[in-house]
Each structure stands twice: as C-alpha cells, then as structure tokens.
C-alpha cells in the first residue's frame, strides 16, 4: 500500500543528512544504510547507496528512473535455490 499523498515521502534522517553533507562537500562515497523503507528522492541521484539485504550491503547507483521507489526494491532479500533434477530412472 502506498504512502498517503498528504504525508511527505519517508527518508531516514541519517540518510538525508548524509546525502546533504556529501552534496555540500562535493565528493562522492558509498553510503551504507539499513533503511530499506526510505523512498528515493531526486537529491539521491548520482550517489551510490549500499542497501542491506539481510546478509550483506549491496551497492546500488541511484539513477533518475528510480525516483519514487523504495530502496529495498533494489536489494532482493531472497535467492532462488534450484535443486538438481535427477533424470536418470533406476531400473532393476
């Protein structure tokens, strides 16, 4: 369910402050975050954010087409496990 239009988009305070600090300083570095619920805002474009997926931080480069989506959408938490299929039939 999307967030109400009356409310502003949710962005974690530490993440928002860190992005503003990097913009003012004029340098780029990877920002590490556990906030998967934060929405990507235009100020994040061009930054690399490492999003936690439950096991490790995945670095994601933020692009224009990602604005409005949540950070967690770009760091999948599940990996598909496929077991080998045994096609050989045992005949006695």
Query: Could you tell me which of 42, 35, 46, 45 has the C-alpha nearest to residue 11?
Result: 35
* Mean pLDDT confidence for 51-77: 93
Under a CB-based contact definition with an 8 Å cutoff, are residues 29 and 42 in contact?
Answer: no
32-60 pLDDT, tens digit per residue, is 999 999 999 999 999 999 999 999 999 99
Under a CB-based contact definition with an 8 Å cutoff, are residues 32 and 50 in contact?
Answer: yes
pLDDT for residue 78 is more than 80: yes
Domains and CATH numbers, the chain: 28-74 (3.30.860.10)
Rounded Cα distance, 71 and 60, in Å: 9
């Amino acid at each position: 369910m999307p967030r109400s239009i009356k409310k502003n988009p949710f962005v974690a305070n530490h993440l928002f402050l860190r992005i503003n600090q990097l913009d003012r300083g004029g340098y780029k570095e990877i920002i590490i975050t556990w906030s998967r619920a934060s929405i990507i805002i235009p100020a994040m474009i061009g930054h690399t954010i490492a999003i936690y997926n439950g096991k490790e931080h995945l670095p994601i480069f933020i692009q224009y087409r990602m604005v409005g989506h949540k950070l967690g959408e770009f760091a999948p938490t599940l990996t598909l496990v496929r077991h080998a299929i045994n096609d050989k039939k045992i005949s006695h």
